[in-house]
Structure formats: C-alpha cells, structure tokens
A and B are shown apart, each in its own frame.
Chain A
Amino acid sequence: GQNIDQPTEMTATEGAIVQINCTYQTSGFNGLFWYQQHAGEAPTFLSYNVLDGLEEKGRFSSFLSRSKGYSYLLLKELQMKDSASYLCAGMDSNYQLIWGAGTKLIIKP
C-alpha cells in the first residue's frame, strides 16, 4: 500500500533549527512535496524534490533519499510565524499526491 509517515507534533524555539522527517511508500515515484498549512487556511507550496540531495530555498531546505524512501524539511532561524502544520506528500506513478497527516510545529519564544 501507499503510506506517508511523519511526526504528529514538534516543538522548537524561536531562532533555532528544526528538522521534520518524512518516510514514504508510493506506487512508483514522481517526486516528494512539502507544504505549509496555517490553521484554517489552504496549504501553500514549499518544496519539490525528485532527485536525491538537498534543495535550499532561503530559510527552508528539503532533502530526499529515494533509496531510503526518506525526506526531511529543515527550517532555520525559526520565526513565530513558522508555527503551522507541515505536510509531506509523495507523488505516485499516476501523478497523484499521497498525503501525510501533517506535522504540527509549535514555536516557543
């Protein structure tokens, strides 16, 4: 079956770094996505990885290892506005997104 696993909740301190892990099992693979979702709002796109390695985009970076079925989202210099749910989604061979349940990130001052 297809499955996405990520932690339910994480807590970090303002200004620090946090890594949110995601493991995936999909039927075929056409990339791994990370989305940010604030409460009551729709998801917004953060990153897309289809090749192994690290993609850096400002304070956010995303890593992919296809052999391990593993990805992480790295957030640096955390700000209070980064408090949100972070959704990991794998795209299968039919170009459908398989969604994880999301990781709620709580930022403390």
Chain B
Amino acid sequence: GAVVSQHPSRVICKSGTSVKIECRSLDFQATTMFWYRQFPKQSLMLMATSNEGSKATYEQGVEKDKFLINHASLTLSTLTVTSAHPEDSSFYICSASTSDYNEQFFGPGTRLTVL
C-alpha cells in the first residue's frame, strides 16, 4: 500500500513555457503533500507543504508565483512551474503523508529539463 504516482516522469520544455506536474496518492488519502526539488548530488530541498483545500506554505526563497501549487483533493496535488527557465531544470519529487506524519511516501519524481 501507500503508493504515490507522479506524472510526467520526464519533461523537456522550451524556456518561457509552463509545466504542470501531478502527484497522486493512489491507495490512501493524503492529508499533507510535500514538493521537493533535488539538484544533482544534493539532498532534497523542500519547496512547499500543502494541505488539502488550503493554500500551500512555501519555504523561504521559493517564489510562490512561479511555483504554483494546487492541492485540490486528498489524493491530488499539482505543481506548475510557470515561465520555466534553464535554471529550473531539476528533479522534482512529491511526497504524501497521512495525519499521523510517521512516514512520507514519495512519488517516483519528475525530471524537468528546460532548454
């Protein structure tokens, strides 16, 4: 159990375009979803935390107008990278947790390349 999917797994886009990444909890209801970014050979960097039906809480230094997060239901959260630039190229990973917070279940990640 506790499966989280992410779509797409890979995306290549042109600079200036927007990209939407979906994160779904397939067999449980996720009270909270987390969006991370990971650059090569670095650890996970938390971008934002979102709870269903409320606005996401962004970490310091993360532009909320550039990285739009929508947590529409207990099983779906989306991250939209608006006006993407080459420096936004990274591995984006979502995770989901239930109300007891004991574990975060990770999606398989999305590799974004902005040309």
**A interface residues, Cβ below 8 angstroms from B:** 30-31, 33, 35, 40-45, 48, 87, 91, 95-97, 99-102
Contacts and interface: CB of A to CB of B under 8 A. Distances in A.
B42 interface: yes
A87 B36 CA distance: 14
Given A97-B46, A100-B43, A30 B93 contact: no
B108 A102 contact: no
Interface residues of B, number: 19
Nearest to B106: A42
B102 A31 contact: yes
Contacts of B46: 96-97, 99
Interface in B77-106: 91, 93, 101-106
Given A96-B46, A99-B44, A101-B42, A30 B101 contact: yes
A41 B109 contact: yes
Interface of B: 34, 42-46, 49, 91, 93, 101-109, 111
A42 B93 contact: yes
Which 9 residue pairs of A and B lie closest in terms of their CB atoms, listed nearest first? A42-B106, A42-B109, A95-B101, A101-B43, A99-B43, A99-B44, A42-B93, A42-B108, A43-B106
Nearest to A31: B102
Contacts of A42: 93, 106-109
B102 A87 contact: no
A87 B44 contact: yes
Given A96-B49, A100-B43, A101-B42, A45 B103 contact: yes
Contact of B106 (A40, A44, A102): A44
A100 B43 CA distance: 7
B105 to A, nearest CB: 7
A102 B115 CA distance: 29
Nearest to B102: A48
